[in-house]
């Protein structure tokens, strides 16, 4: 997989996994030969990456209209503008796919695994139960994972690269927090220029012959409530005054709790999970780059509507036309359009 990934195999004992301040496993010296953790690092030459930003199907205005949180309040915009860090879910947020579903489909078990994913993301079953059940259905080998990564490059959601670049230019730290696997998320982080140490995700475990052994249960994201724990670790470690979580699933919504995220933005541009969307501080069903318009307008007195129309096109135009008025907030006054 020239230019895509490189793999290093470390032999470890399951009991030799220790936790560092970031909640990631630290390997202690061990002579055990039973378990291997595959670390995927990025190559310096990323030219062979295929940057794929696919278009998602726009939601109908009637669908969006069922929710009353598609237009952010002044308080929400204040947090969004002044956040010190932004954490992103990966599957169906940063990327248009559910990584485990794609891997399962590649290995011949796509339909059964996708059904479990829908239940897990909707919050109807504990995440750890769903994760174990899905992996047990196809038990991917190391060679299958490597073949998948070579043939199925990451497919980014529209606007995510512009959003991440803007956040970094404004000195906002960016993290990826996912119930997916590091082996599949490291390439995504490299495309977006996100440090690998800013990833909280699960780790597939393989044996000496590359056979599937399971996943590292010590990762906080391997269980329900794990993303909240990851956010709390990030916040405590770096002392961020405010932090935003952006995602589509129930596990992302869980991060919005005391000591965790101050704001949860539900991204419904790929999958709209109604129970999650209804409880979000802010629902965005457009290109992720549309969030930039709200950052640019708030506090500057500029009208956000032309910016939104320029960025997101006809979907926002149809949505705005269905409203009697929109309150556009600035730091001085509230005007109606």
Q: Across residues 102-126, what is the average pLDDT? A: 87
pLDDT by residue (tens digit) across 10-20? 333 334 334 33
Confidence of residue 151 (pLDDT cuts 50, 70, 90): very high
> What stretches of the chain adopt beta strand conformation (E)?
5-12, 17-19, 25-27, 35-42, 52-53, 85-88, 155-156, 173-181, 199-202, 204-206, 212-215, 243-247, 263-267, 282-284, 327-329, 334-336
| Beta pairing partners, 335 | 328
Chain mean position to CA 37: 23
Is residue 181 predicted with pLDDT exceeding 90? yes
Residue 269 sits at φ, ψ, to 5 deg, of -75, -20
Q: Which residue has the higher pLDDT, 28 or 184?
A: 184
- Angstrom distance (rounded) from CA 178 to CA 224: 12
Judge contact between 157 and 95, C-beta under 8 A.
yes
C-alpha dihedral, 28 to 30 to 36 to 40, nearest 10°:
40
Catalytic residue (one of 91, 248, 252, 262) = 91
CATH code: domain of residue 59 = 3.40.50.1000
Residue pLDDT, tens place only, 190-206: 999 999 999 999 999 99
Mean pLDDT of the chain: 78
What pLDDT does residue 28 have? 35
Q: Which of 68, 78, 89, 147 is catalytic?
A: 89
Is a pLDDT exceeding 60 seen at residue 25? no
Query: Active-site residue 89, yes or no?
Result: yes
The domain tally of the chain equals 1
* Domain boundaries, position 233: 5-336
**Lowest model confidence (mean pLDDT) among 60-74, 75-89, 241-255:** 60-74
Q: In this predicted structure, what is the pLDDT of residue 240?
A: 96
Mean pLDDT across the stretch 248-261?
93
Tokens of 146: 């490597």
């Amino acid at each position: 997989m020239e230019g895509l990934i490189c793999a290093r195999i470390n032999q470890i004992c399951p009991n030799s996994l220790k936790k560092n301040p970031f909640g990631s496993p630290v390997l202690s010296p061990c002579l055990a030969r039973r378990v291997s953790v595959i670390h995927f690092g990025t190559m310096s030459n990323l030219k062979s990456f295929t940057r794929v930003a696919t278009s998602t199907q726009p939601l109908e205005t009637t669908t969006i209209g069922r929710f009353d949180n598609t237009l952010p309040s002044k308080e929400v915009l204040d947090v969004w503008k002044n956040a010190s860090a932004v954490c992103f879910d990966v599957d169906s947020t940063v990327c248009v796919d559910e990584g485990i579903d794609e891997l399962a489909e590649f290995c011949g078990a796509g339909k059964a695994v996708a059904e479990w994913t829908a239940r897990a993301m909707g919050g109807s079953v504990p995440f750890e139960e769903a994760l174990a059940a899905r992996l047990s259905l196809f038990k991917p080998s190391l060679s299958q994972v490597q073949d998948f990564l070579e043939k199925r490059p990451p497919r980014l959601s529209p606007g995510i690269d512009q959003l991440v670049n803007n956040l970094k230019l404004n000195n906002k730290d960016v993290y990826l927090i996912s119930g997916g696997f590091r082996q599949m998320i490291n390439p995504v982080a490299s495309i977006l220029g996100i440090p690998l140490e800013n990833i909280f995700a699960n780790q597939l475990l393989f044996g000496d012959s590359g056979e599937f052994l399971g996943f590292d249960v010590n990762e906080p994201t391997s269980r329900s409530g794990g993303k909240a724990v990851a956010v709390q670790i990030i916040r405590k470690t770096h002392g961020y005054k405010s932090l935003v979580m952006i995602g589509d699933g129930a596990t992302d919504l869980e991060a919005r709790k005391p000591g965790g995220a101050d704001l949860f933005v539900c991204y419904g541009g790929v999958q709209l999970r109604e129970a999650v969307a209804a409880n979000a501080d802010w629902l965005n069903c457009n290109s992720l780059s549309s969030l930039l318009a709200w950052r640019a307008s708030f506090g500057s007195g500029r009208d956000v509507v032309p910016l939104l129309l320029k960025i997101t096109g006809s979907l926002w135009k149809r949505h705005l036309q269905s409203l009697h008025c929109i309150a556009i907030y600035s730091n001085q006054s509230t005007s109606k359009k």
